[in-house]
């Protein structure tokens, strides 16, 4: 089975590249190596949104106001919704080749592979999880990892077409809530309020690893890196 090459955490460098450019560099590394590459890094204070948010009427003003308060708003390649970041979040990004010609058909299999890796991570902290939608959570989706009906991690995919086989490079991402779930939800709501949006996320819809285990974000990131280095993650060969 194919295995990922783990890149150094500082490969994701927001001082030199914006969020989407860092993601594109990861995709380019996969293409160059003709295989899968993985990146694990702890978050920093900010908020990440899909490109569609740029078209919201109040986005530029909201982005400037939050940046002035030390909360930069970053734009990512994948779709979805608002994803708050802080030193209490752990980011996983996997880039790898896919032969599938129809991403919409193949996406579920790729999500299940990603969720399987995340479930191994949570199992290392004795946290049983399943994956499903969690209404009221920020950036809700079918492949949230959840504990007792509360979101503890979110997932996303971005498929980039290639000129030659394999047909696509997949960027599969996850944000793991290591601690401070309530503060992260408040951060997501702060952006929605700045956008004059009626959308608000419920604090009781999320939870964190620290609610179940004595582990901070650095410990979670180290455990995830160990799993990747030990071959716990693969990707679909279709």
Predicted confidence at residue 76, as pLDDT, reads 98
CA 78 to chain CA mean position, Å: 9
Given a contact cutoff of 8 angstroms between Cβ atoms, the answer to whether 90 and 43 are in contact is: yes
Tell me the two tokens of residue 212: 């179940």
Polymer length in residues for the chain: 238
Q: pLDDT tens-digit profile of 104-129? A: 999 999 999 999 999 999 999 999 99
CA distance 1 to 143: 23
237 has a pLDDT exceeding 90 = no
> Which residues partner with 49 through β-bridges?
75
Identify the structural domains of the chain with CATH numbers, from first to last. Answer: 4-229 (3.30.930.10)
DSSP secondary structure letter of residue 197:
-
Top-confidence residue, 147 or 167: 147
Structure tokens at 30: 């996969």
pTM of the model: 0.96
């Amino acid at each position: 089975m194919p295995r990922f090459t783990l890149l150094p955490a500082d490969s994701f460098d927001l001082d030199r590249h914006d969020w989407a450019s860092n993601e594109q560099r990861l995709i380019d590394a996969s293409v160059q190596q003709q295989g899968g590459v993985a990146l694990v890094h702890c978050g920093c204070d900010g908020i990440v949104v899909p490109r569609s948010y740029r078209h919201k009427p109040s986005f530029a003003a909201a982005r400037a106001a939050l940046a002035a308060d030390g909360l930069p708003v970053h734009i990512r390649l994948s779709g979805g919704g608002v994803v708050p970041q802080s030193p209490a979040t752990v980011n996983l990004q996997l880039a790898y080749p896919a032969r599938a010609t129809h991403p919409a058909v193949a996406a579920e299999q790729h999500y299940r592979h990603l969720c399987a890796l995340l479930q191994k991570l949570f199992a290392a902290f004795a946290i049983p999880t399943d994956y499903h939608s969690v209404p009221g959570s920020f950036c809700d989706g079918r492949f949230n990892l959840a504990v007792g009906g509360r979101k503890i991690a979110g997932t996303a995919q971005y498929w980039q077409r290639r000129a030659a086989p394999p047909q696509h490079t997949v960027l599969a991402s996850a944000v793991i809530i290591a601690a401070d779930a309530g503060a992260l939800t408040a951060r997501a709501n702060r952006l929605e309020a700045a956008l004059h949006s009626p959308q608000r996320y419920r604090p009781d819809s999320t939870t964190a690893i620290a609610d179940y285990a004595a582990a901070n974000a650095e410990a979670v990131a180290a455990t995830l890196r160990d799993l990747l280095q030990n071959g716990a993650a693969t990707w679909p060969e279709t």
